[in-house]
Chains A and B, each alone.
Chain A
């Protein structure tokens, strides 16, 4: 189980910003876009064998050319205000059939990521993911935060378009950040590092959909730009947002008028708790989304060699 570092750059107390796949790939897209905008350079990787199964084999004219594994890579960049290390995992290590990291493997992965961060003097860790919320899809998603200390509460409430998770009702002050976006912060806290999770809101009825939700990634990215004091060109994300909006609008157009009417109430209220649609409505929407994507995905399975 190993780490391979390609370089040993001199970094001044870098912040670590991590992204893994999750609901709507909100965090992953935000962090990956930021890494691209800042032209961060490759720093190293975590060897995949102990965490992942290979995803692709290439065989040409009878010769096994290679196996491809999900990557878990580190990048770095020095900025005027602060230095950064990025970690981007293509997959979360899982045990069994789960989608999100659990168990010993996830704990090992979290520790390896933090080993690298601490080696370069990191004292603060950011992760990013999704916050499933009762919002309307036309509303700008807010960024919902969970932090590791009271001191950080004071800081995050000053970020633009950012709220504390306690401001969203229905959770009675408790909850879990699933997968490595949560676990990494827990391990970081145990190691005495600061931790901030920035989660972009995604409408509840879209949380099970198979496409990304870049509108929320954009909200998260705006907050990162604010924290880092940088200007970001959102052109690429803007195009992606428009494409997904089209699909979402098509789904929304298929809602029966009475559900649409109740759901549209969400446009006009700041959501504190789920409202606007009934449980029955939610069930109808979920079933019809599944049907929509089932039709698009019925192309048969693949064999393996």
Chain B
């Protein structure tokens, strides 16, 4: 393991943990951030190490958004009781191969992980009232078999790879069983939040790792969001018609999609 890559704050008190990885970049429905925040808070996650930004992120200055400075952070947290290792980061700008191998080196050689889980939302053309699915990609058929019965749906896809797929592939080369979870998020919630997808994903993790999480508090977020959108549908016939069409399995043209996404974003950001 290349020690210079890391800043290590404390030795992890983990036995044979599972690694959960979430990316803050292009975080559809803010799913990754929400999930990691929830797990760290409820399971007492402690920051144990980070990958140093040098060589992976632009360091020519400091970025800011909404008046706040943004510092590239790629941190490992340990949830001792639940035996979980959590990694949260922006996607590196450079050197993905070295970054992801560094991530796996730390997880494998320092924390002795047994399995890898990546979590990212994927945009869907369904209505928010439709049941969400979690699409899944495995790197070993045996692991796929082991996770049957959790209600995950197998994905079939060919195209440009996301960083999670690259990580999953590198884990496969190291013989680490891994899965990428891709909960569906209706396109008009992609720029905001989707508490339904967040809850569904947390339910899977809760059940898989027997975490004993109380997910009840997410119900009020779901209720509030549904209520606001219902109100919008009452007030705006056009928006109501768009959502009706999605609910009937019909599609919207690009202009209609943009109009719906914008209206819901404006509504929910308040």
Residue of A nearest to B158 (CB): A58
Shortest CB-to-CB span from B19 to chain A, Å, is 17
- Knowing A50-B97, A62-B137, A62-B144, the reply to whether A67 touches B158 (Cβ < 8 A) is no
B145, chain A: closest CB distance, angstroms: 10
- Nearest CB in chain B: distance from A199 CB, A: 31
B162 in complex: contacting residue of A50, A66, A304, CB < 8 Å: A304
Instruction: Select one of B97, B141, B144, B156 contacting A49, CB under 8 A.
Output: B97
Contact assessment for B136 and A95 in the assembled complex, using a CB-CB cutoff below 8 Å: no
0 or 1 for each of B52-80: is its CB under 8 Å from A? (1 = yes): 00000000000000000000000000000
Contact indicator per residue, chain B 146-184, by CB within 8 Å of chain A (1) or not (0): 000000111111111110011011001000000010100
Does any Cβ of B come within 8 Å of A211's Cβ? no
Taking Cβ atoms with an 8 Å cutoff, the residues of B that contact A are: 94, 96-98, 122-123, 136-139, 141, 144, 152-162, 165-166, 168-169, 172, 180, 182, 254
Complex contact A67–B137 (CB within 8 A):
no
State the total of A-B contacts with C-beta under 8 angstroms: 85
Compute how far the CA of A67 lies from the CA of B138 in the bound complex, rounded to whole angstroms. 13
**A54 cross-chain contacts in B, Cβ below 8 A:** 161, 165-166, 169
Q: Which of A60, A66, A95, A303 contacts B159 (CB 8 A)?
A: A303
Tell which of B96, B122, B144, B158 touches A57, judged by Cβ atoms closer than 8 Å. Answer: B158
Instruction: Find chain A residues with CB under 8 A from B254 CB.
Output: 300
What are 28 A-B contacts defined by CB distance under 8 Å?
A49-B97, A54-B165, A54-B169, A57-B162, A57-B165, A57-B166, A57-B169, A58-B158, A59-B137, A61-B156, A62-B137, A62-B152, A62-B153, A63-B137, A63-B141, A63-B154, A64-B138, A64-B139, A64-B180, A300-B254, A303-B123, A303-B160, A304-B160, A304-B162, A305-B122, A305-B157, A305-B180, A305-B182
User: Given the complex of chains A and B, what is the CA–CA distance between A60 and B156 in angstroms?
Assistant: 4
- In Å, the complex CA distance between A178 and B28 comes to 39
Could you tell me the distance between the alpha carbons of A215 and B127 in the complex, rounded to whole angstroms? 52
Q: In terms of DSSP, what is the predominant structure of the interface of chain A?
A: loop
Chain A: minimal CB distance from B178 (Å) = 8
Give the residue name and chain of the A residue nearest to B166 (CB): A54
Interface string of A12-49 (1 = CB under 8 A from B): 00000000000000000000000000000000000001
Closest to A301 in B: B160
* Docked-complex contact A55 and B160, CB < 8 angstroms: yes
B138 adjacent to A62 (CB under 8 Å):
yes
User: When A55-B160, A56-B161, A57-B161 are in contact, do A64 and B172 touch as well, CB less than 8 Å?
Assistant: yes
Q: Which residue of A lies closest to B182 (CB)?
A: A305
Bound complex: CA of A57 vs CA of B158, how far in Å?
A: 6
Collect the chain B residues with CB atoms within 8 Å of residue A62's CB.
136-138, 144, 152-156
A305 x B97 contact (CB < 8 A):
no
Known: A62-B156, A63-B137, A67-B161. 7 other contacts (CB 8 A): A57-B166, A60-B156, A62-B137, A62-B152, A63-B139, A64-B138, A64-B172
User: Are the CB atoms of B144 and A63 closer together than 8 Å?
Assistant: yes
CB-CB under 8 A for A64 and B168, given A50-B97, A305-B122, A305-B162:
yes
